[in-house]
């Protein structure tokens, strides 16, 4: 059995969580102060996910801040970034505009800032 130590990032408490992992599954989770910590720890050892933030160059040359609208698998971040780096968009752009649909596992790439 493998033991994994994590610091929870779900809330400001930053609980130190210990997870016992067996056959790719969390079998014991201790140290969390709330249910969100337990869910975070379980997901982190089984299939870590991250929201990806970056920028896309618009056709006018301005940089558009972007992010995925939901977390994507950590293992796929380099693929997502390769796609992001190949994109361009027209301005104006408003927060929430979709820059790329389904960039990974159903997550869309959306603008996270306004650019005129």
pLDDT at 24 over 90: no
Burial class (CB in 10 A: 0-12, 13-18, 19+), 17: buried
> So what's the pLDDT on residue 66?
98
Query: Residues spanned by CATH 3.10.530.10 within the chain?
Result: 53-111
Classify domain 53-111 at the CATH topology level.
CPE0013-like fold (3.10.530)
Give the SS3 label for residue 78. helix
Strand partners, 89: 58
The pLDDT confidence band at residue 71, using thresholds 50, 70 and 90, is very high
């Amino acid at each position: 059995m493998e033991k994994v130590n994590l610091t929870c990032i779900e809330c400001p408490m930053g609980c130190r969580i210990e997870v016992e992992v067996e056959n790719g599954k969390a079998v014991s989770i201790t140290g969390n102060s709330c249910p969100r910590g337990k869910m975070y720890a379980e997901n982190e050892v089984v299939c870590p996910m991250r929201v990806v933030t970056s920028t896309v160059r618009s056709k006018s040359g301005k940089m558009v801040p972007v992010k995925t609208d939901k977390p994507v698998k950590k293992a796929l971040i380099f693929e997502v970034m390769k796609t992001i780096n190949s994109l361009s968009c027209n301005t104006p752009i408003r927060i929430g505009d979709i820059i790329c649909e389904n960039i990974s596992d159903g997550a869309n790439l959306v603008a996270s800032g306004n650019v005129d």
